[in-house]
Amino acid sequence: MSLNSADLMNNANQAGLVVPAFNIPYLPMMEPVIQALMDEDTFGLVETARLEWFKFEAQGLQAIAEEFARWEQPDYVRLHLDHVPVIDEDDVEVDYLPIIKEAIDLGYESVMIDGSRLSLFDNIAATKEVVALAHTAGIPCEAELGAVLGHESGPLPPYEELYISGQGFTDVEEAKQFVAETDCDWLSVAVGSVHGAVSGVLKDQKKLEARLHIEHLQKLHGATNIPLVLHGGSGVQRRYLMEAIQNGISKVNIGTEIRQAYEQALRGSNDVQKAQQACYQRTRWLLKDYFELSGSRDQVFGDSH
């Protein structure tokens, strides 16, 4: 495998493409997502976040790695460790280093540390430690600065209020300092998107249509000069998303969009295969019609392919 995930992300960034990253909260979603990437001739990531092991049925790092290995196609997809928070969505401190080390040992090809609920100083310190671990293993590390809300229990403040106030938006000067001091490879930024709800009745509701503050994103991209990541990609108005991809967003996380397709089909049929088919169809639609990425894989792999 000549190119690692960092190389592929950089190639996508230079080609003006985005790498879609699909969260797998239920193990049977793995196969249809990978099949959709192959059938649309698109490169993407599949990923698992810590909360998906507790609030859904992903079961954990090892279960995801084993399921990935069953369907693995390195020319189309790589495995990423999504949100490992230092302080989680329920304000609980997490023993995060052993989780990251385990993921590296299991062969995850990129990892994410989320220190976004810490002070800038503490976020930098935690991220530096994880970046060093990842780079020693020869893999890239994603970090987060700013607050992409939505995973917390309870309702969000009104979206317009959040957007207009810029509450939680990543600070440009802090981002410049953060990237310089941590040497992180990718940075998740807050510019208007929200995470899908993960608990209670809210997790089944249609996600609000978020907007993105493109001018703020441009400033962040100029200040950091590394691939930027958009979390909470489901539900973002398409015109904003496509503009964001041309202004520094190189990876978009998708969870709610395919999770709800899977869950609704499973509830309606009690048939895992039908739920997998619904997940597959939704993933293909995202790749082909929403992101317009069909046939783009060769541009990501470049001359190495």
Half-sphere exposure of 199 (CA within 13 A, CB side): 13
* Environment class of 71 (CB within 10 Å of its CB; exposed 0-12, middle 13-18, buried 19+): middle
CA–CA separation, 134 vs 288, rounded Å? 32
Active site residue 105: no
Is 17 within 8 Å of 299 (Cβ atoms)? yes
Residues in the chain, total:
305
Half-sphere exposure of 123 (CA within 13 A, CB side): 23
Residue 189: both structure tokens together: 């930024």
Which 3-state string (H, E, C) describes 138-202? CCCEEEEECCCCCCCCCCCCCHHHHHHHCCCCCCHHHHHHHHHHHCCCEEEECCCCCCCCCCCHH
Choosing from 82, 88, 171, 185, the catalytic residue is 82
Residue 254 β-bridge partners: 22
With a CB cutoff of 8 Å and minimum separation 6, the contacts of 193 are: 148, 210, 212, 230, 231, 232, 233, 236
CA–CA separation, 282 vs 260, rounded Å? 10
Is 86 within 8 Å of 117 (Cβ atoms)? yes
CA–CA separation, 169 vs 190, rounded Å? 5
Please list the active-site residues: 82
